[in-house]
Amino acid sequence: MAEEHPTPKERYFFETNGYLVLENFLPLTQVADLQQRLRSTIDKRRAGLGTPLQNQSLQRGAGEDTRIFHILDDDPAFLDMIDPPAIMPYVRGLLNENAHFHASDAIWEEELRLEDRPGWHMDGRDAGYRNLRPNIPHLQLKVGYYLSDMREPDQGNLMLVPVSHHTALEPDSQLLSGFATFPGAVQICAGP
């Protein structure tokens, strides 16, 4: 009998820390295919061959660094990443049975420059629903896929502060001044 997800251990980790990393979630052949499709999407948008909305939703950083918004219409493979059968038990188990899709984007980084990092911020609508403090309900869940090998730190890895979803306080501006200044911050290091 297959193990049900999220397991009690996964649920406890998520509820306590506010995140969960699932190693080796996608087959490497799918990862390679998605990388190629993402590269093609970037090239298409840079050439102005997308829809007006697609072409407007391309941001470039230093070098080849690119962030693409509204990516689902670019390729059916991206649309398939919203609700693959393996992720849906986690979405239902950690959020609720009636989850709604909110946004899609992809980030492609070639050259990490510290001055180009976006800095500390809270993801989500309405500043992460901060206006509902002190007891913010669990209203959103971000699912992200690493398509690159990010097992080493300082490659542009996602950084977060575990347990910060439980605080009713705004962090001091000095804590937000840099990634090394926030006590307890971790980089999510994982393979593709």
Structural domains of the chain, count: 1
Is residue 3 one of the residues assigned to a domain? no
Q: Is residue 1 part of a domain?
A: no
**109 domain-assigned:** yes
- Is 192 within a domain? no
In a domain, 114, yes or no: yes
CA distance between the termini of the chain:
27
Q: Say if 85 falls within a structural domain.
A: yes
Average pLDDT over residues 60-64: 72
Residue 132, domain extent: 8-187
Question: Is the pLDDT assigned to residue 28 strictly greater than 90?
Answer: yes
Give the pLDDT confidence of 116-125 residue by residue, as tens digits. 566 777 776 6
Query: Per the domain annotation, does 79 fall within a domain?
Result: yes
Instruction: Tell me the whole-structure pTM to 2 decimals.
Output: 0.86
Contact call for residues 105 and 69 (beta carbons, < 8 A): yes
Tell me what percent of the residues of the chain surpass a pLDDT of 70: 91
Residue 183 phi, psi dihedral angles, 5° rounding: -65, 135
Q: Closest Cα to residue 19, out of 181, 148, 185, 170?
A: 185
More confident residue, 45 or 21: 21
Comparing CA positions, the residue from 51, 34, 17 lying closest to residue 145 is: 34
Are 77 and 41 in contact, with CB atoms under 8 Å apart? no
**What per-residue confidence (pLDDT) applies to 113?**
62
Which pLDDT score, from 0 to 100, does residue 171 have? 82
Task: Please tell me the distance from the alpha carbon of residue 9 to that of residue 5, in angstroms, as a whole number.
Answer: 10
* Each residue's pLDDT tens digit, 143-172: 999 999 999 988 888 889 898 888 878 888
